[in-house]
A = this chain, B = another copy of it.
Amino acid sequence: MEFSHCIGILPGFPALQEEAMSALFKREKVKQLIRQRVPIVAWLPSYDRTDFICDLIAGVTVGLTVIPQALAYSTLAGLEPQYGLYSAFMGCFMYIIFGGCKDITIGPTALMSLMTYDQVKGKNKDFAVLLCFLTGCVQMLFGILNLGVLLDFISVPVSIGFTSATSVIIIVSQLKGLLGLKFSSNSFLDNVTQVFKNLPNTRFGDTFLGFSCILALLLLRKIKDLPIKEPADGRSSVRKVLKRALWLISVSRNILVVIACSIIAVCFEATGNQPPFQLIGTVQSGLPSLSLPPFSTTLNNQTLSFTDMVSELGSSIILVPVIAILGNVAIAKTFATGDSVDATQEMIGLGMSNLAACLTSAYPVDGSFSRSAVNHASGVRTPMGGLYTGVLVLLALSWLTPYFYFIPKATLAAVIICAVIFMIEYEVVTPMWRSSRKDLVPTFTTFAVCLAWGVEYGILAGVGVNIVMLLYPSARPTIQVQRAMTKSGRSYLMITPSNSLYFPAVDFIRTTVGKAGSQEGRSAVVVDCKFVLGADFTAAKGIAALIDDFKRRSQPIYFYNLRPGVIEVFKGASLEEFIHFGDEDELDEYITKEYVLIQSSKSGGGDEELVPLSTFQGDQERGCTG
């Protein structure tokens, strides 16, 4: 009872089958496809009151986190504060319908904000909104064409280098707000220099408030882990409530700190004093208008067309959506305990979220790791939680914007810093060193290039280095050379390449096998192809040349353990003369025969004494028994 099958790739949208298929079966197929690609259809019918309550609690908790983060991230993205809020609801709504993972909550993230900033600086917000639209398009395309395979080329070391670098960049970018400095900069290194140059202008008020906020946020982050003993008596419910309250305070720390600082600012204003720290100022009130993304814009009194804008955005049109998908899939994997993650569905969910978000002047959105963790910990049961988060953001936009005026800049800087500071993964270096130290090369390449030239170049450089490391073994495979002996006692050379025969390795294998063979005089060479899983035309040509080389010096060469597919490739390239076999007895037979031939031709040319075949048969027997 042995069966064997190969598992290929499951296409995102399987092509519909032959017409012969019954209409019923077809309808069933379509239904199944809809259930797979529009997950709400699958879970909504069984949505009940418990689901509603759990989702409501989780959604509101996430909403309380997203509001201060959205305000902070939009300044990180180089946009006015309201754009963060504009980006924080449509994605949530679309993900209810198309989302594949209940815990993920879509909205502005630190990473997307940083990548948007690179496209917005020195330009205007139209580029951010268009980037959101294009991100959605590319993500949908990736989903439909099942291009998730591209994500696999971003390895763990590269992604560690990338997230660590972005965290460092983000933290440094927030020093300005934290210290109350005023300057403009256009890169990480410029930022570092500017901070140092402007250190004498540090404002005490901002610095004090900023560091106090950081301290408060870090402490609040910890209080949920306070050990609250369960007492033996029945009053444990009080303790339970206390534990729950501490958890809620910890999770809502961002909004609590923002509210507290805003109240301080209000107090100063109420007493007629200028607060000793900078405030974010007026946040435009009201909901954003629903409109198509801007397909042209005016910049420095010049009208830029769609193609001009696209060429300005450059490689970020691919990199922003890819990084967003990568992040989203990573979050899904973290929370999908045991279940497999459907990457295609994540691409579609994220693509639809961005396409919807760009209609309300959003910049690119993504699943937020920190908020998804809050969502998960708050006990969310379906993606419907996003509804309550989104509604809360809409309410804030409608009624709370006048109060946002009083939020201090240093507080928002502290919120961002505390959100990303734990993303610097320095502690992974030790296991990487122990496990596979050459993997540190892509990590540090990515990290260094991200800091020196920008995050897009960093990830490209890391992936490039990684691919070179991946390609090297296919160009210079290990080749094992062993002297072996047949049962009949004939020695021969067994050469085993450790890789498939594709073009980069062909010349190397030809040279190595040729050199090893020529050092052995005229004894037979057997190429063991057990690791050769495939071959191409270049390989066929190279093997033909190798066989010619051996023929020219009358040395026999055989191929052992060739797979049928490889034989076909060789034969197709007019390589008819190669001798191959798959079992050891045949190998023995060939080598013994060849040895007899060589011996007899030698004797024939020399002293006319033919070596009788039986001698070797005798030898062979001795070899068997000895």
Contacts and interface: CB of A to CB of B under 8 A. Distances in A.
Contacts of A479: 6-7
Contact of A537 (B6, B432, B470): B432
A572 B434 CA distance: 4
A382 interface: no
B439 A152 contact: no
Contacts of A194: none
A553 interface: yes
A39 to B, nearest CB: 18
A572 B436 contact: yes
B536 A4 contact: no
Contact of A6 (B480, B572, B574): B480
A475 interface: yes
Contact of A538 (B9, B156, B482): B156
B572 A431 contact: yes
A8 B479 CA distance: 8
Contacts of A571: 434-435
B439 A149 contact: no
Contacts of A515: 7, 340
Contacts of A537: 155-157, 431-432, 435-436, 439
Contact of A573 (B431, B438, B482): B431
Interface in A476-490: 476, 478-485
Say what secondary structure dominates the interface of chain A: helix
Interface string A477-520: 01111111100000100000011101111111001101110000
Contacts of A483: 1-3
B502 A470 contact: yes
Contacts of A474: 470
B439 A3 contact: no
A571 B433 CA distance: 11
Contacts of A570: 435
Contact of A552 (B5, B337, B470, B538): B337
A506 B470 CA distance: 13
A574 B1 contact: no
A439 B545 CA distance: 19
A121 interface: no
A531 interface: yes
Query: Quick one: which of A470, A484, A500, A533 has the most chain B CB within 10 A?
Result: A470
Nearest to A9: B476
Interface in A11-29: none
A564 interface: no
A7 B435 contact: no
Query: Quick one: which of A475, A502, A503, A534 has the most chain B CB within 10 A?
Result: A503
A61 interface: no
A567 to B, nearest CB: 11
A9 to B, nearest CB: 6
B503 A466 contact: yes
A482 B535 CA distance: 25
A41 to B, nearest CB: 23
Interface in A135-194: 149, 151-153, 155-157
Contacts of A322: none
A263 interface: no
A550 to B, nearest CB: 9
A541 interface: yes
Nearest to A516: B7
Contact of A503 (B153, B472, B505, B538): B153
A612 interface: no
A536 B160 CA distance: 14
Contacts of A535: 436
Interface of A: 1-9, 149, 151-153, 155-157, 333, 337-338, 340, 431-436, 438-439, 466-467, 470-476, 478-485, 491, 498-500, 502-508, 511-512, 514-516, 531, 533-538, 540-541, 545, 549, 552-553, 568-574
18 contacts: A1-B483, A7-B479, A149-B504, A152-B508, A153-B503, A155-B504, A157-B536, A157-B538, A431-B574, A435-B569, A435-B572, A439-B538, A467-B467, A470-B471, A473-B533, A499-B533, A531-B531, A531-B533
Interface pairs A-B: 8 shortest CB-CB: A435-B572, A434-B572, A155-B503, A435-B573, A156-B538, A439-B537, A152-B504, A155-B538
